[in-house]
Structure 1
Amino acid sequence: MNTEQSSFEKFGHWLKQSVGLKLSTITILMLLLLIPASMIKSIIHERESQNRSVLREVSSKWANEQQLNGPILTIPLVYEYLNNENETIQKTKHLHILPDQLNVYGNIEPKTLKRGIYEVVVYSSKLKVSGLFDLNAKIDQSGLKEIQFDKAFMSIGISDLRGIEDQIQFQWGKNKISVQPGSRLPNMIPSGVSLDVPNLAENFTKMVNFSFDLNLQGSQNLSFIPVGGSTQVELQSPWSSPSFNGNFIPKTREVSDKGFTAKWKALLLNRNYPQSWVDRNMADRMQDSSFGVDLIMPLDDYQKATRSAKYAAMTISLIFLVFFLVEILNGKKIHPFQYTLVGLALCLFYVLLISISEHTNFNIAYLISAGVSSLLISLYSTSVFNSLKFTAILSSTILGIYTFLFVTLQLADYALLMGSIGLTVILAITMFFTRNINWYKLHVSAE
């Protein structure tokens, strides 16, 4: 009986002193704590999804993303053919002509609208559009009966007509024409305005200037289709966080805290459609050539919170490593339940971060969240360690981790570099402090 009891006592003593078992227990705890960490990521994604929903709702009431396409001149052509029964039939085709030159100068005035705790970027733009049509287009004369100049019309694509703030007066040569709502080329321009073109027969084979002003509201994005044989677009805005996108990047750009200026230039040879064609649908090719600018929120808070949550495993591992080393070096036994409480305090940081950042600046939210989490763990470790020295080491480690994470979040372009350097430094420090430990003869003291 005494032998059996002695065996149980030895086994219990081994359980309390086994370093390998302690490491296994800590590893399992760390993996279990990744479950609430992943739940935190789900919360962040849910809040981000709700933010996008609000963005779509507000944008739909203001005006959605805007794209300018055109102007495109369309002239009906009547052809006569003989069919197999030797009967004469007529068919109307449409000749589409693009401007030889297209110039756009615009000023974008951004605004932020709030719906509850969410912010949405919208804008009001003032665009001056001008250019030149070379009407010396080649027309297939085979079977051509009539060119219906009196039915010619101009189309201008505007993706969301609700954003038009003022009546558009189109200057065609010496004529000023009011445009009408609706696109007459639904397959090529789904949404836009159009106008009848006067005196086209007199001007055909000549050069004709055009211009118009467009005051346009929109949300987040403004883009253009380079329909000109030479297209030049210049935009300026006080928005300091633009994202240039599309098939062309600006030839020149200046971005500062005071805003941005950008200039694009696209030539006929840079795109995959001609200056004129008959009855072909070039909508897809034209869309593929679009370019423009996004007015984005600088490193949006949900993106930062998601990126910070990706470091949860590293943060928990490092803090647990400090606790474990205190056990080894100080001979102070720490219960797995105490590890769990510390791990939950670390997870609390991410919950506080996302909830507070929705109501204030992200940096302030980070400072508050990191401060609360650090204070909880430091005060708790004072009782666990019974040593101001080791508490100070732990507090310094937590401060270093949160500082490193904050710097990494700010340097989006160098996040991977910062992360790899940081992990290398952490590994080097761990190897240095554990270099003299004899792990084969090591036991965790039992109190």
Structure 2
Amino acid sequence: MSTLERLNEWARRSVTLKLLVIGVMILFLLIPTSMLDGLIRDRQSLRDSAQTEVASKWGLQQTVGGPVISVPYRYQVLDAEGKTLTTSGYAHFLPDEINIEGTLNPEERYRGIFVVVLYNTRLQVTGHFGAYDAAALNIPETALQWEDAIFSIGLSDMTGVQAAIDLRFGDTTRSLGPGTITNDLFDSGASTAVTVTGAEQRTDFSFSLDLNGSSALYFRPFGKRTTVQLSGGWGNPSFDGSFLPQEREVSPAGFTATWEVLQLNRNYPQQGTGAYIGKSSRGYVDGGYVEGGYYPDGAVSENDVLGLRLLLPVDEYQKTYRSTSFAVLFIFITFLTFFFIEVLNKRKVHPVQYLLIGAAIILFYVLLLSISEHLLFASAYWLSCAAVVTLITGYSWFILRNLKLTLLVAGILVILYVFFYSLLQLQDYALLVGSLGLLLILATIMWLTRNIDWYQLNREE
């Protein structure tokens, strides 16, 4: 026998070399496994783009803020050098009480194969302003130009406004126009001039909003006491923001929720000047905090809101992404099964055959992703499982030519897919069940190999 023939025979029989080759193949299969994550993210991005395209024409997620009374001011001061400087801006006064009641009417629309969650909400907003505490501002009271006061509300996406906004303010009725005059408070919204003297002790207001939006609805708690009562026909809401509802009831038919937020729960006062809640850092004149009720720029987080998100019952991409985290472990256990078949039953499996089996395992996740875009995740999982188990089982028959061993491979694959599916369904106990499952797998391997004389196998090389 020539040296080359002896080398080939050693390579064919060497258990150590086979283990090294299997390890290299597992590392090689990490490349397409990592590409699965990129494929899922691409499909998610495509879905998000489709949802944004539809929502932009209907109305994006809405954030309702206000109402607020903004009063312009202007006064002169002397600097250190005796020069006269003119300071101007807006002083903002928040309501004592805001009550919001509304219903949310959601619907699902499709852009291709992707679902978009849209809604229409009709809100009734009532409340009152108390006495205007102009003395709390760090400006002369005579600088306030009450005759030019503005009533404004913030709406994050004006595309969703479906009807005129008629305001009842005190004894007068006005219609709000587009724009907020000053951008200290909101980037977009509606406003109107109101008659205010600054001496009022109480002024009631009320108005209705008919809004279209998508995915989420939020409110800013601008009152000393803000209450929101919301109901809707969506059975899977996610209550979001900085404040959870005091009362809520969720059923498959819909939800009802009630929030109540006090002034003390916020981090900004009832009156002030300059930049305000939810604004990004900008160079306002009144940007820094000083005594007297200034709203320091960026002092309040954009997350200082209450509201909810309308979640889809199943996010197939999230579950598919979670399932890919088990891909490497699945490949490892499957390869280990064939390796022990080789060792214990003297059946030889070529490295190319290992690679083809690994490719079939990876194909499972591609099938799962593509089918889950059209069917429920559970149906997609078991259809993909049936296809891949059938493929690998049939291939194993041609490799092993042994019915008992082929059925063993099929049984192990089915057990693995059932086990990993159960992990996907668990939330709180996924780590516990997963670790116990791995312990059981390791114990089984140790039991099956307890009588193998590995040194004897090496001497047979």
Whether these two folds match at TM > 0.5 is yes
Output the CA distance in 1 between the equivalents of 2:110 and 2:81. 69
Equivalent residue in structure 1 for 2:160, among 147, 159, 163: 163
Moved more, 355-364 or 244-253: 244-253
Moved more, 254-263 or 85-94: 85-94
- The answer to whether the 8 A contact 1:158-1:192 is kept is yes
Output the CA distance in 2 between the equivalents of 1:141 and 1:275. 14
Pair 101,427 (structure 1): closer, same or farther in 2 beyond 3 Å = same
Q: Is 1:218 aligned to 2:233, yes or no?
A: no
Amino acid at match of 2:219: F
Equivalent residue in structure 2 for 1:372, among 364, 387, 406: 387
Pair 97,381 (structure 1): closer, same or farther in 2 beyond 3 Å = same
SS in 1 for 2:210: strand
SS in 2 for 1:111: strand
Deviations 1:211-234 (A, max 9, x none): 211111111111111101111222
**How big is the shift at 1:433?**
1.8
Output the CA distance in 1 between the equivalents of 2:138 and 2:312. 55
Q: Which residue in 2 is equivalent to 1:227?
A: 222
Equivalent residue in structure 1 for 2:232, among 193, 217, 237: 237
Residues matched between the structures, number: 440
Moved more, 396-405 or 78-87: 78-87
- The answer to whether the 8 A contact 1:81-1:143 is kept is no
Q: Which residue in 2 is equivalent to 1:430?
A: 445
Amino acid at match of 1:157: G
Equivalent residue in structure 1 for 2:330, among 315, 323, 334: 315
Output the CA distance in 2 between the equivalents of 1:384 and 1:334. 7
Q: Is 1:333 aligned to 2:348, yes or no?
A: yes
Q: Which residue in 2 is equivalent to 1:98?
A: 94
Moved more, 435-444 or 366-375: 435-444
- The answer to whether the 8 A contact 1:105-1:129 is kept is yes
Pair 420,263 (structure 1): closer, same or farther in 2 beyond 3 Å = farther
- The answer to whether the 8 A contact 2:98-2:225 is kept is yes
Q: Is 1:396 aligned to 2:411, yes or no?
A: yes
Output the CA distance in 2 between the equivalents of 1:238 and 1:187. 36
Pair 356,254 (structure 1): closer, same or farther in 2 beyond 3 Å = same
When the two chains are superposed, the root-mean-square deviation of aligned CA atoms in Å is 2.6
1:351-370 equivalences in 2 (<5 Å): 351-370=366-385
Q: Which residue in 2 is equivalent to 1:137?
A: 133
SS in 2 for 1:204: coil
Output the CA distance in 2 between the equivalents of 1:80 and 1:351. 70
Deviations 1:358-404 (A, max 9, x none): 22222211111111001001111122222222222211111111112
Deviations 1:333-361 (A, max 9, x none): 11212212211111111111111112222
Output the CA distance in 2 between the equivalents of 1:79 and 1:385. 93
Give 5+ residue unaligned stretches, structure 2: 280-297
1:10-409 equivalences in 2 (<5 Å): 10-77=6-73, 79=75, 93-139=89-135, 143-145=140-142, 147-198=144-195, 200-201=196-197, 204-279=199-274, 281-282=276-277, 283=279, 284-286=298-300, 287-409=302-424
Moved more, 64-73 or 126-135: 126-135
Pair 440,143 (structure 1): closer, same or farther in 2 beyond 3 Å = closer
SS in 2 for 1:293: strand
Pair 383,229 (structure 1): closer, same or farther in 2 beyond 3 Å = same
SS in 2 for 1:436: coil
Deviations 1:262-316 (A, max 9, x none): 3222211111110012445454345342232111223411111111112110111
Amino acid at match of 1:407: S
TM-score (norm 1): 0.90
Output the CA distance in 1 between the equivalents of 2:28 and 2:49. 33
Moved more, 143-152 or 112-121: 143-152
Output the CA distance in 2 between the equivalents of 1:407 and 1:132. 54
Pair 348,93 (structure 1): closer, same or farther in 2 beyond 3 Å = closer
Amino acid at match of 1:101: E
Amino acid at match of 2:239: F
**How big is the shift at 1:79?**
4.3
SS in 2 for 1:185: coil
Deviations 1:170-211 (A, max 9, x none): 12233332111111122321100001223x33x833122222
Pair 79,136 (structure 1): closer, same or farther in 2 beyond 3 Å = same
Pair 385,89 (structure 1): closer, same or farther in 2 beyond 3 Å = closer
Give 5+ residue unaligned stretches, structure 1: none
**How big is the shift at 1:146?**
6.3
- The answer to whether the 8 A contact 1:328-1:444 is kept is no
